[in-house]
Structure 1
Amino acid sequence: MQSSDRHGTTSRPGRTIRSATSTDDRFAEIFGFSSPFGQPSYTGGQGSANPPRPHKAAPIENRLLCNLEDLYKGATKKIKISREILDSNGRTMSVDEIVTINIKPGWKKGTKITFPEKGNEAPGVIAADIVFIVDEKPHEVFTREGNDLIMTQKISLAEALTGYNAQVTTLDGRHLSISINSDEVVVPKEGMPIPKEPSKKGNLRIKCNIKFPSRLTAQQRAGMKKLLGS
């Protein structure tokens, strides 16, 4: 004859079998053990079979100041960076490294040059990218608007009325003589190179700043009226 106690254990003479609600199984249920043999099953944490993936550090941005001549003709810049790397024992050490940037003709302000994972190394972290962002130095003669170069030429009223030849030195050292006969003169293909098509260029625009005389004599006024037909 079989008998059951109140804890769910079925007894036979000389033999005891634990039911599914035994103390060991309740212990496993409470503490998260999922193995059918009562062994613990872990997820995450130290010693896990699936350790957390390393995260990548945020990019490190640096300003790359260029003059218009470099952006017109192209140039090569070598820059020293200092960074920390991990040695074979996992310890950090400081090193200096030279990176080379080849500036392409026509590059604009805001152009980014990226050196992947050249930042500091650290355990559990993927090194940051080093990013250089092009900026333009002010030029004493030209300003830039897109692919065009803008130049302001100061001339007198007489020069504006009778004509004037402006002498212009380009960013690559050539000398141009340009006839000024209006408030703005456009010289085709003398602007900045177009990055995707370096053989093509924008325009050079010469804007005239006319200096008017502060006063005129009676004779000059008469002469101006006669000249202008009024």
Structure 2
Amino acid sequence: MFFGGDPFEHFAHHGGGGSHRGPRRDVDTTKLYETLGVEKTATQPEIKKAYRKLAVKHHPDKGGDEHKFKEINAAYEILSDEEKRAKYDRHGLEGIDDHGGGDGGADIFDLFFGGGRQASRGPRRSEDVNHAIKVTLEDLYNGKTVKLAINREVLVGKPKMCRQCDGRGMRMELRQIGLGMVQQIQRHCASCRGEGYQCEKKRERKIVEVHVEKGMRHKDKITFRGMSDEKPNMQPGDVHFVVHEKEHDVFKRKGADLLITKNLSLKEALTGFAWRIKHLDGRSLIVASKPGEVIRANAANEKPYVKIVPNEGMPSRGNPFVKGNLYVLFTVKFPEDGELSAAALDSLRAHLPGPSSMDMEAQEEEEEVHLEVANIANFGRGGAQTQESAYDSDSDEGPQAVNCQQS
């Protein structure tokens, strides 16, 4: 919004006459800030916090996009250096003398604009496209190749610059809102739909083979470079097929490890067990206890009792011959009350280790009592509720007042 003076002074460089000493019109000084998701006025702690959050989210080892991860590192290396940041704020990426940026020496223009030092004035990349591909745990264990169709827009002929917006894709409109007051509004060019160029397009359907590698994880990406929609004066972006792992009925997965739950009777837990499972590759495994092995109801730290079958987990992506472990979480089911006969109880007392307390007899003035089922949540709520207990309530209002009316 402009108050007084010449409201068209802002557009003086579009006409002839005069020299232009400021930055060129096409210099981009916001891309790095947008990459980290911060404002241009962000402080160094804010930039560092945003970088750490994005680096964890987009790290390739956690299923993130490698190219995006490199962009984040490059942006942080420049914006975390006050001298480089000042040059970038004035002159854009061309103002950075050392074209580093966390990519092992790769040109930073390749990261953000898809090729070369002149790329800031040349074609940029169109948006990437993500498609979900649902796979079973068996598919991720054994690997799978499927044929899928990519439907996209491709250009027909050579694009022509839009004369309405001079290839900028945006048009500036001025609206007078009062005496000496003019409002400047920026809108997408309706003639070229904000693309800056006009051209004919057509739909293309291409069949691609999507290879799901052994050991891939949920949200891993299978990328086809340059297969997204073609746009004028831009390089096509990538198409990512994002792995969505379906839940399995038997196995639970975490990383390269698998987990199954096995319920045992007290007899099996004490005397031994064996059961058959069908693995993800179709093999039949018999999981059996060792002679004399006892399965406990809980581990020593009161956590679930767990054992493993080594090297029977998921294959590792990139090295499928190295596998994780198969974890077995045990639960032991004890007999119900009255289920064991007196003879069975006598036999257990005779053969199980440890002392028996059943021979204890009540002494004079002693009383024998029995147990009932209880809920620990009721601990502290026993006995009669007295008037004083009302003051122990969590309410800040205390006990309600009682009004007495005399007749």
Normalising by structure 1, report the TM-score.
0.72
CA deviation map 1:161-188 (0-9, x unaligned): 1111021111111111111443433111
> Runs of 5+ in structure 2 lacking a partner?
1-15, 27-119, 159-198, 296-304, 356-407
Q: Take 2:271 and 2:279, find their aligned partners in 1: how far apart are those partners?
A: 25
Q: Take 2:134 and 2:265, find their aligned partners in 1: how far apart are those partners?
A: 36
Task: Kindly state the Cα deviation for residue 224 of structure 1 after the two structures are TM-superposed.
Answer: 4.4
Sort the Cα spacing of 1:44 and 1:171 in 2 relative to 1 into closer, same or farther, 3 A: same
Aligned counterpart in structure 2 of residue 154 of structure 1, from 251, 263, 286: 263
1:215 maps to 2:340: no
Structure with the larger RCO, 1 or 2 (CA within 8 Å, 6+ apart): 1
Task: Kindly state the Cα deviation for residue 70 of structure 1 after the two structures are TM-superposed.
Answer: 0.9
Identity of aligned residues (%): 34
1:195 maps to 2:311: no
Partner secondary structure for residue 88 of structure 1: strand
Contact residue 67 and residue 139 of structure 1 kept, 8 A: yes
The structure that is strand-richer by fraction is 1
The higher radius of gyration belongs to 1
1:98 maps to 2:167: no
Per the alignment, residue 32 of structure 1 pairs with 18
Moved more, 160-169 or 189-198: 189-198
Per the alignment, residue 281 of structure 2 pairs with 172
Per the alignment, residue 229 of structure 1 pairs with 354
Contact residue 126 and residue 231 of structure 2 kept, 8 A: no
Partner secondary structure for residue 208 of structure 1: strand
Alignment length (residue pairs): 188
Q: Take 1:56 and 1:203, find their aligned partners in 2: how far apart are those partners?
A: 43
Task: Kindly state the Cα deviation for residue 63 of structure 1 after the two structures are TM-superposed.
Answer: 2.0
Contact residue 132 and residue 244 of structure 2 kept, 8 A: yes
Deviation >3 Å, runs of 4+: 220-226
1:144 maps to 2:253: yes
Q: Take 1:75 and 1:221, find their aligned partners in 2: how far apart are those partners?
A: 55
Normalising by structure 2, report the TM-score.
0.42
Per the alignment, residue 75 of structure 1 pairs with 144
Contact residue 146 and residue 210 of structure 2 kept, 8 A: yes
Partner secondary structure for residue 157 of structure 2: coil
Per the alignment, residue 65 of structure 1 pairs with 134
> Runs of 5+ in structure 1 lacking a partner?
1-29, 35-42, 46-50
- Which amino acid in structure 1 is aligned with residue 244 of structure 2? D
Contact residue 44 and residue 52 of structure 1 kept, 8 A: no
Per the alignment, residue 18 of structure 1 pairs with none
Q: Take 1:174 and 1:214, find their aligned partners in 2: how far apart are those partners?
A: 36
- Which amino acid in structure 1 is aligned with residue 267 of structure 2? A
